[in-house]
Amino acid sequence: MDKAKKQSPQQFNKVLDMLPVYLVLLTPDYYIQFANRFFRERFGDVVGKTCYESLFKRTKPCEKCQTFKVLQTDKPLQWDWVGPDKHYYSIYDFPYIQADGSRLIMEVGIDVTKEKRTQEALRKAHNSLEARVQERTKELQETRDYLDNLFNYANAPIIVWNPEFKITRFNHAFERLTRLTAAEVLGRKLDVLFPENNRETSMELIRNLVKGERWEVVEIPILRADGTVRTVLWNSANIYADDGITLVAIIAQGQDITTLKDTQGKLLSYERLATIGKVSGSIAHEIRNPLAIIDSSLFYLEKILPDTDERVKTHLSRISSATRQCASVIEALLKMTHPDELRLGSVDLQKFIDVILSEYCPVGITTVNDFLSETITIKGDQEQLRIAFGNIIRNAVQAMNGRGTLTIAIRTNRDNVDISIGDTGPGIPPENIEKIFEPLFSTKAKGVGLGLSIAKSIVELHDGKITATSELGEGAVFTVRFPLSQTNRS
- What's the CATH code of the domain at 392? 3.30.565.10
Residue 282 vs residues 89, 143, 292, 407, 409: alpha-carbon distances, Å: 51, 71, 16, 40, 41
Query: What pLDDT was estimated at residue 48?
Result: 92
- Whichever domain contains 319, its CATH number is 1.10.287
Based on the fold, state whether residues 294 and 393 are members of the same structural domain.
no
Between 160 and 8, whose confidence is greater?
A: 160
pTM over 0.75: no
Query: What pLDDT was estimated at residue 4?
Result: 39
Based on the fold, state whether residues 329 and 364 are members of the same structural domain.
no
The mean per-residue pLDDT over the stretch 379-402 comes to: 87
- The lowest-confidence range among 169-178, 246-255, 264-273 is 264-273
The mean per-residue pLDDT over the stretch 152-158 comes to: 83
Based on the fold, state whether residues 250 and 280 are members of the same structural domain.
no
Q: Which of the four pLDDT bands, split at 50, 70 and 90, describes residue 263?
A: confident
Q: What SS3 state is found at 332?
A: helix
Query: What pLDDT was estimated at residue 477?
Result: 93
Based on the fold, state whether residues 244 and 371 are members of the same structural domain.
no
- The lowest-confidence range among 217-221, 276-280, 324-328 is 276-280
Nearest to 157 by CA among 173, 169, 145: 173
Query: What pLDDT was estimated at residue 105?
Result: 94
Based on the fold, state whether residues 102 and 195 are members of the same structural domain.
no
Between 280 and 249, whose confidence is greater?
A: 249
Nearest to 489 by CA among 378, 369, 380, 353: 378
The DSSP output letter for 192 is: G
Based on the fold, state whether residues 70 and 133 are members of the same structural domain.
no
Query: What pLDDT was estimated at residue 87?
Result: 93
How many other C-beta atoms lie within 10 A of the C-beta of residue 278?
Answer: 11
**pLDDT tops 60 at residue 74:** yes
Q: Which domain holds residue 452?
A: 345-489
Q: Which of the four pLDDT bands, split at 50, 70 and 90, describes residue 26?
A: very high
Mean of the per-residue pLDDT values for the chain? 82
**pLDDT tops 70 at residue 489:** no
Based on the fold, state whether residues 269 and 353 are members of the same structural domain.
no
- Last residue in a domain, options 337, 360, 375: 337
Torsion of CA 113, 115, 118, 123, to 10 degrees: -110
Between 26 and 285, whose confidence is greater?
A: 26
453: Cα separation from own chain's centroid = 19
Q: Which of the four pLDDT bands, split at 50, 70 and 90, describes residue 280?
A: low
Spatial contact of 258 and 231, defined as CB atoms under 8 Å apart: yes
- Last residue in a domain, options 76, 111, 146: 111
Q: Which of 71-80, 339-348, 384-393 has the highest mean pLDDT?
A: 71-80
Based on the fold, state whether residues 91 and 145 are members of the same structural domain.
no
Work out the burial of residue 248: count CB atoms within 10 Å of its CB; fewer than 13 is exposed, 13-18 middle, 19 or more buried: middle
- Whichever domain contains 47, its CATH number is 3.30.450.20
- Last residue in a domain, options 301, 318, 337: 337
Between 84 and 273, whose confidence is greater?
A: 84
Number of helices and strands in the chain (H, E)? 14, 18
**pLDDT tops 70 at residue 186:** yes
Q: How many domains does one find in the chain?
A: 4
Query: What pLDDT was estimated at residue 338?
Result: 60
Based on the fold, state whether residues 248 and 308 are members of the same structural domain.
no
Based on the fold, state whether residues 360 and 394 are members of the same structural domain.
yes
Query: What pLDDT was estimated at residue 7?
Result: 52
Query: What pLDDT was estimated at residue 384?
Result: 83
Based on the fold, state whether residues 101 and 154 are members of the same structural domain.
no
Spatial contact of 129 and 255, defined as CB atoms under 8 Å apart: no
Q: In what order do the strands lie in the sheet with 465-471?
A: 365-370, 404-412, 416-422, 475-483, 465-471
Q: Where are the alpha helices (DSSP H) in 102-226?
A: 113-142, 147-153, 172-178, 182-185, 199-210
Which run of H or E residues covers position 265?
Answer: helix 258-304
The mean per-residue pLDDT over the stretch 227-232 comes to: 88
Based on the fold, state whether residues 442 and 371 are members of the same structural domain.
yes
Q: What SS3 state is found at 169?
A: strand
Torsional sign, CA 42, 46, 47, 53? negative
Upper half-sphere CA count for residue 199 (Cβ side, 13 Å): 10
